[in-house]
Amino acid sequence: MSERVLVAVTLVLSLGAVFFVTGASKRGVVEVSVVPRDFEGLGCEGEVAGLRCAPAPQPLRPFMTTGGRLVALPGIFEMPRVEQWLRHPKEPTERVRILCDAEVLATGVPLRLRFSTSDAFGEQRVDVASVQNCFVR
Amino acid sequence: MFARLPSAKVVLLLTLMCGGVAARLVNLQYPASFIFDEHHFVENARNYLAHRGDWNDHPPLGKLVIAASMRALGDNALGWRLPSLLLGLLTIAVAGVASARLFRSREAGLMAAALIAADGAFIVYSRTALLDGQLVFLQALALLVATFRWRLVTAVAAGAVFGLACSVKFSGVGLLVLFGAAMVLDETIDWRRRFTFALLIGVVGVVVYFALYALGLSISGVAWGPSEVWANTQRLLQHHGGLTDMKHASTSGWATWFLPLKPIVFLREGHLGAVRMVTMLGNLAVWWAASATFFGAVTLVLRDGTRRAREWPHGKALLLLLAAALGFLAPWVLSHRDSYAYHYLPTYLALVVLLAGVLRWASERAPKQVLGYLCVVTVVSALYGPLWCAAETSQGVVDALLFMRSWR
């Protein structure tokens, strides 16, 4: 019986190890680069991982990270410190980097996106993350 | 009620096997682009499909196999990698049967299959469109052939496997050491028949090699006679003979493979703090135990000599597996050719089968310790599994698991 207990403990430990190693990836820092007009231009249609595109209090928008990956993040421009910059940019075309703590909610999900008001919405696969503690660098 | 359940050890071995199969399947098509050296082989598989020349420096068979899969499934990640997956799964089964026959024990077979299934190096080469997984499969097949009594059909089969291995990579020539040892250890045949069988292995091997090379040349739309095969073979051998500077960042000397010092990182991607990584670093509990088994076995054989070693319980199996291991190690020990950690894989397969035999022997004397060892193997597989199949993790976890700087 003790052998069976040992094996059972091993299996539980192994499952825990897999969850620990893969679960560790859910949180990180995301960095995106934006200009003021992105507030209007970046948009999507629909809902994913419980987050909604505009109209919504904290709408989901697509961003290209500084690492070159497409990601949809909610309410970036509605975060207090980002909103403050958006109200008073140094110049209308000022480009800034925004850093946030992020938690990945879904990866590679299809979503209809656009990157400027003149663009049509088109479906692309995107990672989705919730964000907090955003600040402008 | 509990008496009817399988033993704890069997449950663990089956878990290792199922986990190993799952790790070969998860994210198989990720990334959808090439990783590590896949471009060498997939691009030349494309060349074969388009009847163009092969510019790669290995014989055609490995790329022809990939081309056949791409023709059936399309030019996509699944089409490129399916042959490696199927051969990787077959390696588990064939090596398991070979081990069971060598050690006359189903448990030894189950252990070999489980350890191979749960090892990262074999997992990674079962998921990528590379040639070394094919060579590992042929090593397993050669081991199985070598477990049969030597007759005409055995020699023909051995010759065919030898020819196939050399048609994938020239280092397949190492199988001759295994087959030579197998014939010498079979005391039911005399030296005249051994000589005949050796000749037959050579003839069949050369015929298979020339036929497959000629097939590759004919598909490429160029002259494919024996003289063309010979000329191409000479050209490739000259090319390999010149690769001796060891300047590539991934090169590693054969003596470092037992640790290993420089396993190759196939993929490294970061996003949102998440890291996806594929490393050919094996299961350390298996790798280090296999290395210890190798050095222990070599020491014992050197001390007692091969004649006395034959008389040990399963002594012939041990000598056969050492020959299989040394056959693929010898080219790198005896030459200055640039070498990489993946050149060790056929040797490693033989050593894992030897380790399985040792564990089987030990489980009669110290069953709890063997069970404890298998528990460690299981947990190590679970910890490193995500790094073998491109699952997302964090940089902190990667740094902790790949604790040697040269592993990252």
**Any alpha helices (H) in chain A, and if so which ranges?**
2-23, 38-41, 80-87
Other beta carbons within 10 Å of B52: 14
User: In the predicted model, is pLDDT for residue B2 greater than 80?
Assistant: no
What is the distance in angstroms between the Cα of B404 and the nearest Cα belonging to chain A?
18
For B176-195, how does the pLDDT look when each residue is reduced to its tens digit (9 = 90+)? 999 999 999 999 999 999 99
Q: Which residue of A has its CA nearest to B2?
A: A1
Long-range contacts of B183-192 (CB under 8 A, 24+ apart): B183/B150, B185/B310, B185/B316, B185/B319, B185/B320, B186/B149, B186/B150, B188/B149, B188/B150, B189/B150
Contacts of residue B112, Cβ cutoff 8 Å, sequence gap at least 6? B95, B96, B98, B99, B100, B352, B353, B356, B357
Contacts of residue B239, Cβ cutoff 8 Å, sequence gap at least 6? B57
What is the distance in angstroms between the Cα of B378 and the nearest Cα belonging to chain A?
7
The residues pairing with B278 across neighbouring beta strands, listed in sequence order, are: B267
Instruction: Note whether B28 and B85 are within 8 A (CB).
Output: yes
Contacts of residue A5, Cβ cutoff 8 Å, sequence gap at least 6? none
Confidence band of B76 (pLDDT split at 50, 70, 90): very high
What is the distance in angstroms between the Cα of A96 and the nearest Cα belonging to chain B?
18
Q: Is A123 exposed, middle or buried (0-12, 13-18, 19+ CB in 10 A)?
A: exposed
Q: Which residue has the tokens 């879904």?
A: A106
Q: Which residue of A has its CA nearest to B381?
A: A14
Q: Is B76 exposed, middle or buried (0-12, 13-18, 19+ CB in 10 A)?
A: exposed
Instruction: Note whether B138 and B172 are within 8 A (CB).
Output: yes
Task: Please name the amino acid found at residue B225.
Answer: G
Other beta carbons within 10 Å of B179: 28
Nearest to B383 among A9, A21, A30 (CB): A21
Mutate to test the interface with B, among A1, A13, A25 (most CBs of B within 10 A): A25
Q: Percent of chain B, pLDDT > 90?
A: 90
Other beta carbons within 10 Å of A66: 13
- How far is B243 from B45, CA to CA, in rounded Å? 24
- How far is A56 from A72, CA to CA, in rounded Å? 14
- How far is A11 from A14, CA to CA, in rounded Å? 5
Instruction: Note whether A46 and A112 are within 8 A (CB).
Output: yes
Contact B391 A22 (CB under 8 A): yes
pLDDT for A49 equals: 85
Helix (H) or strand (E) holding B313: none
For A120-129, how does the pLDDT look when each residue is reduced to its tens digit (9 = 90+)? 999 999 989 9
For the entire predicted model, the pTM comes to 0.85
Q: Which residue has the tokens 């192994």?
A: A14
pLDDT for B268 equals: 86
The one-character DSSP state at B171 is G
Instruction: Note whether A98 and A82 are within 8 A (CB).
Output: yes
What is the distance in angstroms between the Cα of A89 and the nearest Cα belonging to chain B?
26
Other beta carbons within 10 Å of A126: 22
The residues pairing with A33 across neighbouring beta strands, listed in sequence order, are: A97
For B13-29, how does the pLDDT look when each residue is reduced to its tens digit (9 = 90+)? 999 999 999 999 999 99
- How far is B158 from B180, CA to CA, in rounded Å? 10
Rg (CA), chain A: 19
Contact B379 A102 (CB under 8 A): no
The residues pairing with B302 across neighbouring beta strands, listed in sequence order, are: none
Contact B393 A25 (CB under 8 A): yes
Report CA-CA distances (Å) from B386 to A8, B22, B141, B275, B394.
Answer: 21, 11, 29, 10, 11
What is the distance in angstroms between the Cα of A70 and the nearest Cα belonging to chain B?
10
For A6-29, how does the pLDDT look when each residue is reduced to its tens digit (9 = 90+)? 999 999 999 999 998 987 666 778
Question: Tokens in use for B24?
Answer: 């070969």
Cis peptide before A55 (omega within 30 of 0): yes
Contact A6 B379 (CB under 8 A): no
Confidence band of B43 (pLDDT split at 50, 70, 90): very high
User: In the predicted model, is pLDDT for residue B368 greater than 90?
Assistant: yes
pLDDT for B1 equals: 46
- How far is B356 from B227, CA to CA, in rounded Å? 45
The residues pairing with A30 across neighbouring beta strands, listed in sequence order, are: A100
Instruction: Note whether B398 and B280 are within 8 A (CB).
Output: no
Q: Which residue of A has its CA nearest to B5?
A: A4
Question: Tokens in use for A4?
Answer: 């069976």
For residue B399, how far is the Cα from the chain centroid? 27
Nearest to A27 among B273, B383, B387 (CB): B273
Contact A22 B2 (CB under 8 A): no
The one-character DSSP state at B129 is S
Confidence band of B5 (pLDDT split at 50, 70, 90): low
Q: Percent of chain A, pLDDT > 70?
A: 97
- How far is B247 from B266, CA to CA, in rounded Å? 18
Instruction: Note whether B256 and B25 are within 8 A (CB).
Output: no
Nearest to A6 among B8, B272, B273 (CB): B8
pLDDT for B274 equals: 75
Residue with more model confidence, A46 or B272? A46
pLDDT for B282 equals: 97
- How far is B37 from B53, CA to CA, in rounded Å? 19
Cis peptide before B31 (omega within 30 of 0): yes
The one-character DSSP state at B188 is T
What is the distance in angstroms between the Cα of A99 and the nearest Cα belonging to chain B?
11
Chain A residue numbers with beta carbons less than 8 Å from the beta carbon of B274 are 25-26, 28, 104
Identify the segments of chain A with pLDDT beneath 70. Answer: 1, 24-26
pLDDT for B201 equals: 98
ipTM of the assembly? 0.86
Mutate to test the interface with A, among B12, B15, B27, B272 (most CBs of A within 10 A): B272
Instruction: Note whether B266 and B280 are within 8 A (CB).
Output: yes
Closest CA to B127 of B398, B387, B374, B399: B387
Instruction: Note whether B353 and B95 are within 8 A (CB).
Output: yes
